[in-house]
Amino acid sequence: MADMQSTMQTLSAVMPMIGGAFSANAMIDQGEAIQTKNYWEAYQLDLNADKAMASASVDVESMELQFDLAASRARAVAGGQGTGLDGQVADIIANMAGVGRYEMDKIIFSGQDAANRLNTQASFKRFEGKQARKGANYTAGATALAGVSQGAVNWFGGSRYINKQLVGEKVPS
């Protein structure tokens, strides 16, 4: 009977420690999984930022070609009419170039703005991932300590025994 009681006391002390270790490990794994997920989301946001800039660049090149073509047509029409590049035609071409530059700058700004927003979101995702992992590690540590604490309480016969020992009361043997 004494062996059975000793075995039960040992198990009641060890089981919370084992359970705490398993729970702590699961929390660490969960923190790592959340961090990995957030890092992948950040990577996708970074890629989308690169795509936004590339798209803006392509749009600018396309618009530049359109304005060059329009200016070329204006020159051809003026030359075909025999007027040459007099003041009025030159002014029209210069205005077209100014409008074109303004439109291209708007496209570049829009692309940069989109890329900046996506890069900021990616930074927040990476930060959230780091914080999730850090929080999981702290929670895992607390869980492991709680398991050890409960095991110690069970081993020494319960919290009443420990409390009496701490204040110096005699505990019956």
The pLDDT assigned to 172 comes to: 54
C-alpha to C-alpha distances, 91 to 67, 87, 97, 99, 115, nearest whole angstrom: 14, 6, 10, 12, 36
Domain boundaries, the chain: 12-167
Helix (H) or strand (E) holding 98: helix 87-155
pLDDT-derived band at 57, boundaries 50, 70, 90: very high
Rounded distance between C-alpha atoms, residue 111 and residue 54, angstroms: 8
Whether the pLDDT of residue 173 is over 70: the answer is no
- Mean residue pLDDT across the chain: 83
3-state SS record for 105-169:
HHHHHHHHHHHHHHHHHHHHHHHHHHHHHHHHHHHHHHHHHHHHHHHHHHHCCCHHHHHHHHHCC
pLDDT-derived band at 31, boundaries 50, 70, 90: very high
- Percent of the chain clearing pLDDT 90 (strictly above): 41
Whether the pLDDT of residue 161 is over 80: the answer is no
Average pLDDT (19-27) is 88
